[in-house]
Amino acid sequence: MKVLLADDDPLCRTLVKVSLKGIEGTDVKEAEDGDQALRLLRGSSFDLVILDWQMPGKDGLEIVKSLRAMGSRVPVLMVTAEAAKDRVVEAIRAGVSDYLIKPFETTALWAKLTKFQKPGKGQPILPAG
């Protein structure tokens, strides 16, 4: 699974990357701001995009809106501290596939990722053990 991980917090990117390492066949590309994320999205295809809402340059919501305007249906997991109900609704209306509130446990991330496993791959998305 090819994943774009966009978050301006290096610690958060590291935590998510470590979680994703347990999933066989995952290739993670990183972006440290929204503008870099959008450039990567325009230049490559991804199976999943994991976005922080608050980033320098374009924020996560702007990136989702741009993706959907380009016709992309790539699943987007918004990982953010934005927990207010109206903000969650706003993100979903913009095209976010799912939402994960910071701070989160690795098991919560894995539970969200199972939704995005492509059918017929044969391998479970969750790490063994």
**pLDDT per residue of the chain (129 residues) written in tens, 0 to 9:** 899 999 999 998 998 888 888 777 789 999 999 999 999 999 899 999 999 999 999 999 999 999 999 999 999 999 988 788 898 899 999 999 999 988 888 888 888 887 776 654 434 333 333
What are the tokens at 94? 């913009």
CATH for 2-112 (3.40.50.2300, 3.65.10.10, 3.40.50.970, 3.40.50.300): 3.40.50.2300
The number of beta carbons lying within 10 Å of the beta carbon of residue 59 is 19
The residue ranges of every structural domain in the chain are 2-112
Read off the amino acid at residue 66: S
Q: Assign residue 63 a region: left if phi > 0, alpha if psi is -120 to 50, beta otherwise?
A: alpha
Beta carbons within 10 angstroms of residue 107's beta carbon:
10
